[in-house]
Structure 1
């Protein structure tokens, strides 16, 4: 039972790790796509501040303040944003590498837990029963 519980927990952690990596990858790709739109010029400045579904939840004054702030630091931001889309290919490789390292670590921990359970069970089975006398 302990083996099944440890493997179930390990596979659950792996699923959570995979979901977290996928979510961060999707967020990064979305941000890079937005950076490319922002590098397009002043007309595209408000295009990628946040997804369309979020506009109902964000006050218009906050939108105006953020657009004014972006306009004030425009030249520096635009120079940085022009280089971001070139890095988009590396994001996929980096996401897979990070996911793979985390998955290997979780697999190693699962195997370690399996071995630990086996060692503890073998120690427990080697102990004499209470009340039993040792033969000399």
Structure 2
């Protein structure tokens, strides 16, 4: 009985930790998406650190690609703040899948302890009747 309580307590602690992690990730992602619209009018040039390490033809190709895609990138950056509300739904889906997985782990642990106790009880010598 003690092992079952320990197992379920561990599952509940992991569920609490999972809940905090998902809430924190949702808050960070939502804040990042909310403020992403400020990038819409920025300069879409490649960083100098990146171009210093790339071969010249590849750096020129990337710079040309970014320059060509600038209108699409600006449109996407302007759209990102409106996607911030979807992070709540995403967080609930991810949390639900993780909680279901933890529940399955708890049930598996419960069954394993019950089977172990049953096998230990069947292997124990029985008292002989007089």
TM-score above 0.5, yes or no: yes
Structure 1 residue corresponding to 2:113, chosen from 105, 112, 117 = 117
Unaligned runs of 5+ in 1: 46-64, 66-71
Corresponding residue of 1:83 = 79
Structure 1 residue 86, shift from structure 2 partner: 2.5
Find the aligned partners of 1:113 and 1:90 in 2 and give their Cα distance.
35
Runs of 4+ in 1 over 3 A off after TM superposition: 72-77
Unaligned runs of 5+ in 2: 49-65
Partner of 2:35, secondary structure, is: helix
Q: Deviations over 1:8-54 (max 9, x none)?
A: 11111111111110111011011011102333x45xx9xxxxxxxxx
Q: Deviations over 1:32-81 (max 9, x none)?
A: 11102333x45xx9xxxxxxxxxxxxxxxxxxx8xxxxxx9775642320
Structure 1 residue corresponding to 2:100, chosen from 104, 123, 135 = 104
| 1:37 lines up with 2:38 in the alignment | yes
Alignment of 1:119-134 (within 5 A): 119-129=115-125
| 1:92 lines up with 2:88 in the alignment | yes
TM-score, normalized by length of structure 2? 0.68
CA RMSD, 1 decimal: 2.7
Find the aligned partners of 2:75 and 2:23 in 1 and give their Cα distance.
29
